[in-house]
C-alpha cells in the first residue's frame, strides 16, 4: 500500500501556531518535504497540501466523483444558511450552481462596467490628496457599493444605508481570525447552544447576531421585489427572483436570502483585497505602472490591464488555498491520502511555482502576454478549479479592471512606505499588512474619455433618483 505523504512531526498545536504566517509556513514545508506534504491543525481533519497545478488537477478530479467540499466550508460560515452554494454538496449544490451562474456571467453582467466606473469615480473624488490613507478601506467601500447596487439592486437611499451598515457589521463579525481558527465542532456547538448565544463576547454570537440584523432587512427587500415583479431588472437579485430550475421551480425566499449572503461573503472582501494588492504591487513597480499608464493614454490598455490584474492575483493570491474533504482514498503522486482527509491545492504555493512562473517574486504582467500566456495560465488558480471554480470570477475580474482603470485616470499613487507590505491572514484571505497605504496626487491622464450621460444599467430610471 502506498505510504502517507511526508510532513511535519510537530504536535498539532505547534503547527497551528505557525499559521500566524501561513505563506511562510507552507513555503517552509514545501522546501522541506516537496510538492506533496501533510499537516495537522488543532480541531481540523488531517490535511494534505499540494504545490503544483498537475497535483491540483488530481484533487479537482474528485469534484466529478462526489466529495464534501460544501460540508467542509459550512462549519466556517453557518450564517450563510443551508442552501448556500458555498456550503452545499450534491444535487442541491448543482441545482443552485445552474441557477446562479447565468446571473453572474456574460451578457448578464455586460452592462455593469459603466456603473462600476461611476461608483469608483464617486469614491475617488473623496480620497485625501497628498497624505497617507488606506486604499483597502476605500476598496471595501467601492466593492460594497457595487454589491448593494448591482447584486442586491438597492435603489432607495435609506434602505441602502441600513443594509450597508448591517452588512459591514456582519463582514466585520464574521471575518475575525479568532472565529476562523475556532475548530468546526466548537463553532457548531456555539451556534446552536442557547447558553453560548447568550454570551455576547463569543465571536460566534457576534456573527449570529449580525446575521439576524441583515436578515430583517433582506427578507423585507426580497418581499418588496417580489411584489414589484420587475421583469427587466438586471441586478442579480432580480435575475434570481425570475430564475427557474429544470423542473420550472423558482427559488424560495430562504434560498434567495442564503445566496445573497453567499455572494456578499464570497465576493466582497475577496475583490476588495484583490484590488488592494493590485495597487500595492503597482505602486512598488514603477515600470509596470508607467507602461499601463502609457497604454491607457493611447487607449490601448485592455490587454495589458488584464495581464496586470492576473499578475496581481498570482503574486499576491487573495485566498491561500481551499480544499476538498475526501470521501474515498486519493492517490497523489507516490502517496495515498485516506478518506476523511482534506486535500488542498495551495494557491499561495502553486502561484509561486518556479516551473510555471520563472522568478516568481517579480511582478511581471508580461508573463500573461503573447506566447507566455499558455504555461502561465495553466497554473493560474487564484479562483480555484474543478467544478467548484469561483462562480464570481468573471465579475471580480471585470470589477478589478474597471476600478484600476478608473483610479489611474484620476490620481497618481505612490506608496507611503517603499517597503512591500506583508501578507497577513484575515479569515480565509491574505490582506496587505498595512491595508495598502498610499498617497494620492491629482494627475488626470492626458487622454480623457468623452463625458457620458450617467445611466444605471440595473434600473434604467437612473441612480440619482434613488439615492
Ligand atoms: C478577487 C476576487 C475573488 C477571488 C480571489 C475568489 C476566489 C474564489 C475561490 C478560490 C473559490 C473556491 C474555488 C474552489 O473551491 O476550487 C471561490 C468560490 C466561490 N466564489 Fe469567489 N472569488 C472572488 C470573487 C468572487 C465574487 C465577486 C463572487 C460573487 C459575487 C464570488 C462567489 C463565489 C462563490 C459563490 C463560490 C462558491 C462556488 C461553489 O462552491 O460552487 N467570488 N472563489
Pairing assessment for the beta strands 342-345 and 47-50 based on DSSP bridges? parallel
In the three-class reduction of DSSP (H, G, I as helix; E, B as strand; rest coil), residue 316 is classed as coil
Q: Are 42 and 13 in contact (CB under 8 A)?
A: yes
Atom 37 in ligand 1: which residue has the minimum CA distance?
86
Task: Look at phi and psi of residue 401 and say left if phi exceeds 0, alpha if psi is from -120 to 50, else beta.
Answer: alpha
Q: Which triple of cell numbers denotes residue 252?
A: 424560495
CA of 436 to the centre of ligand 1 (A): 22
In the three-class reduction of DSSP (H, G, I as helix; E, B as strand; rest coil), residue 432 is classed as strand
Locate the ligand 1 atom nearest the alpha carbon of residue 384 and give its number.
16
In the three-class reduction of DSSP (H, G, I as helix; E, B as strand; rest coil), residue 457 is classed as coil
Which architecture characterizes domain 12-465 according to CATH? Orthogonal Bundle (1.10)
CA of 86 to the centre of ligand 1 (A): 8
Locate the ligand 1 atom nearest the alpha carbon of residue 84 and give its number.
35
Distance in Å from the first CA to the final CA of the chain = 65
Counting ligand 1 atoms within 8 A of each CB, the residue from 317, 348, 392, 403 with the most, and so the one to mutate, is 392
**Which DSSP string do the residues of 235-264 spell out, in sequence order?**
SHHHHHHH---TTSPPPPHHHHHHHHHHHH
pLDDT at 286: 96
Gap between the Cα atoms of 16 and 20, Å rounded: 8
Question: How many residues in the chain?
Answer: 467
451: how many CB neighbours lie within 10 A of its CB? 6
H or E element in which residue 292 lies: helix 286-297
As a dihedral over the C-alpha atoms of residue 301, residue 281, residue 178, residue 39, rounded to 10 degrees, the angle is 100
Domain boundaries, the chain: 12-465
CA of 403 to the centre of ligand 1 (A): 19
H or E element in which residue 135 lies: helix 135-146
Burial category of 272 from C-beta neighbours within 10 Å (exposed 0-12, middle 13-18, buried 19 and up): buried
Instruction: Name the residue with cell 455572494.
Output: 263
Gap between the Cα atoms of 6 and 48, Å rounded: 9
pLDDT at 461: 43
Tell me if 390 CB under 6 Å of ligand 1.
yes
Gap between the Cα atoms of 272 and 128, Å rounded: 19
CA of 21 to the centre of ligand 1 (A): 23
As a dihedral over the C-alpha atoms of residue 322, residue 251, residue 230, residue 217, rounded to 10 degrees, the angle is -70
Locate the ligand 1 atom nearest the alpha carbon of residue 143 and give its number.
27
CA of 147 to the centre of ligand 1 (A): 14
Gap between the Cα atoms of 456 and 324, Å rounded: 40
Atom 16 in ligand 1: which residue has the minimum CA distance?
384
CA of 130 to the centre of ligand 1 (A): 35
DSSP 8-state code for residue 446 = S
Tell me if 384 CB under 6 Å of ligand 1.
yes
In angstroms, how far is CA 225 from the centroid of its own chain?
A: 27
H or E element in which residue 73 lies: helix 69-74
Tell me if 319 CB under 6 Å of ligand 1.
yes
Locate the ligand 1 atom nearest the alpha carbon of residue 386 and give its number.
16
pLDDT in tens, 140-187: 999 999 999 999 999 889 999 999 999 888 888 876 667 766 777 787
CA of 333 to the centre of ligand 1 (A): 27
Gap between the Cα atoms of 266 and 63, Å rounded: 20
Gap between the Cα atoms of 43 and 56, Å rounded: 24
DSSP 8-state code for residue 319 = B
Tell me if 304 CB under 6 Å of ligand 1.
no
Locate the ligand 1 atom nearest the alpha carbon of residue 399 and give its number.
27
Q: Which triple of cell numbers denotes residue 283?
A: 505602486
Q: Are 313 and 382 in contact (CB under 8 A)?
A: yes
Locate the ligand 1 atom nearest the alpha carbon of residue 273 and give its number.
1
Tell me if 348 CB under 6 Å of ligand 1.
no
Atom 24 in ligand 1: which residue has the minimum CA distance?
267
In angstroms, the Cα distances linking 205 to 170, 201, 353 are: 11, 7, 40
Q: Which triple of cell numbers denotes residue 50?
A: 499540494
Gap between the Cα atoms of 84 and 93, Å rounded: 8
Q: Which triple of cell numbers denotes residue 302?
A: 485592455
Tell me if 257 CB under 6 Å of ligand 1.
no
CA of 236 to the centre of ligand 1 (A): 16
Q: Are 59 and 36 in contact (CB under 8 A)?
A: no
Atom 13 in ligand 1: which residue has the minimum CA distance?
384
pLDDT at 465: 37
Residue 307: name the closest of 424, 438, 404, 177 by CA: 404
Gap between the Cα atoms of 195 and 190, Å rounded: 8
Gap between the Cα atoms of 75 and 187, Å rounded: 7
Atom 27 in ligand 1: which residue has the minimum CA distance?
267
In the three-class reduction of DSSP (H, G, I as helix; E, B as strand; rest coil), residue 425 is classed as strand
**For the chain (length 467 residues), average pLDDT per consecutive 10?**
93 92 95 97 92 97 85 84 93 96 96 97 97 97 96 92 91 73 75 80 84 94 94 95 96 97 93 98 97 94 96 98 94 95 97 96 96 91 96 98 97 96 90 96 70 49 37
Gap between the Cα atoms of 301 and 304, Å rounded: 5
Counting ligand 1 atoms within 8 A of each CB, the residue from 145, 261, 266, 278 with the most, and so the one to mutate, is 266
Atom 1 in ligand 1: which residue has the minimum CA distance?
271
Residue 121: name the closest of 447, 312, 404 by CA: 404
In this prediction the pTM is: 0.91
DSSP 8-state code for residue 50 = E
CA of 269 to the centre of ligand 1 (A): 11
Amino acid at each position: 500500500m502506498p505510504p502517507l505523504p511526508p510532513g511535519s512531526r510537530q504536535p498539532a498545536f505547534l503547527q497551528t501556531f505557525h499559521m500566524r504566517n501561513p505563506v511562510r509556513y507552507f513555503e517552509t514545508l514545501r522546501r522541506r518535504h516537496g510538492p506533496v506534504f501533510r499537516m495537522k491543525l488543532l480541531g481540523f481533519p488531517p490535511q494534505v497540501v499540494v504545490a503544483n497545478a498537475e497535483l491540483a488537477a488530481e484533487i479537482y478530479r474528485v469534484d466529478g466523483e462526489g466529495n464534501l467540499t460544501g460540508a467542509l466550508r459550512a462549519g466556517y460560515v453557518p450564517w450563510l444558511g443551508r442552501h448556500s452554494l458555498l456550503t452545499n454538496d450534491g444535487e442541491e449544490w448543482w441545482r443552485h450552481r445552474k441557477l446562479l451562474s447565468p446571473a453572474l456571467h456574460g451578457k448578464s453582467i455586460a452592462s455593469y462596467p459603466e456603473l462600476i466606473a461611476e461608483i469608483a469615480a464617486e469614491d475617488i473624488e473623496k480620497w485625501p490628496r497628498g497624505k497617507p490613507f488606506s486604499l483597502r478601506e476605500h476598496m471595501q467601500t467601492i466593492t460594497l457599493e457595487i454589491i448593494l447596487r448591482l447584486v442586491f439592486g438597492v435603489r432607495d437611499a435609506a434602505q441602502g444605508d441600513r443594509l450597508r451598515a448591517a452588512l459591514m457589521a456582519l463582514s466585520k463579525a464574521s471575518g475575525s481570525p479568532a472565529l476562523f481558527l475556532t475548530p468546526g465542532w466548537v463553532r457548531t456547538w456555539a451556534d446552536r447552544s442557547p447558553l453560548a448565544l447568550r454570551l455576547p463576547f463569543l465571536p460566534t454570537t457576534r456573527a449570529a447576531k449580525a446575521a439576524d440584523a441583515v436578515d430583517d432587512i433582506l427578507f423585507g427587500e426580497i418581499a418588496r421585489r417580489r411584489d414589484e415583479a420587475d421583469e427587466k431588472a438586471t441586478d442579480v437579485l432580480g435575475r434570481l427572483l425570475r430564475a427557474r430550475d429544470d423542473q420550472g421551480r423558482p427559488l424560495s425566499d430562504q434560498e434567495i436570502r442564503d445566496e445573497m449572503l453567499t455572494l456578499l461573503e464570497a465576493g466582497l472582501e475577496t475583490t476588495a483585497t484583490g484590488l488592494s494588492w493590485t495597487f500595492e504591487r503597482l505602486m512598488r513597480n514603477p515600470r509596470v505602472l508607467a507602461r499601463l499608464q502609457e497604454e491607457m493614454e493611447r487607449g490601448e490598455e485592455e490587454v495589458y490591464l488584464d495581464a496586470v490584474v492576473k499578475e496581481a492575483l498570482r503574486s499576491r493570491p487573495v485566498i491561500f488555498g481551499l480544499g476538498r474533504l475526501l470521501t474515498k482514498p486519493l492517490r497523489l503522486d507516490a502517496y495515498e491520502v485516506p478518506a476523511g482527509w482534506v486535500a488542498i491545492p495551495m494557491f499561495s504555493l502553486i502561484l509561486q511555482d518556479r516551473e510555471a512562473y520563472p522568478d516568481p517574486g517579480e511582478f511581471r504582467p508580461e508573463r500573461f502576454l503573447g506566447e507566455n500566456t499558455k504555461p502561465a495560465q495553466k497554473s493560474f488558480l487564484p479562483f480555484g478549479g474543478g467544478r467548484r471554480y469561483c462562480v464570481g470570477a468573471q465579475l471580480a475580474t471585470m470589477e478589478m479592471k474597471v476600478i484600476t482603470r478608473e483610479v489611474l485616470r484620476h490620481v497618481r499613487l505612490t506608496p507611503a512606505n517603499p517597503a512591500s507590505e506583508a501578507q497577513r491572514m484575515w479569515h480565509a484571505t491574505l490582506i496587505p499588512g498595512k491595508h495598502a497605504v498610499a498617497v494620492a496626487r491629482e494627475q488626470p491622464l492626458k487622454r480623457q474619455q468623452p463625458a457620458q450621460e450617467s445611466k444605471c444599467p440595473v434600473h434604467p430610471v437612473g441612480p440619482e433618483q434613488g439615492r
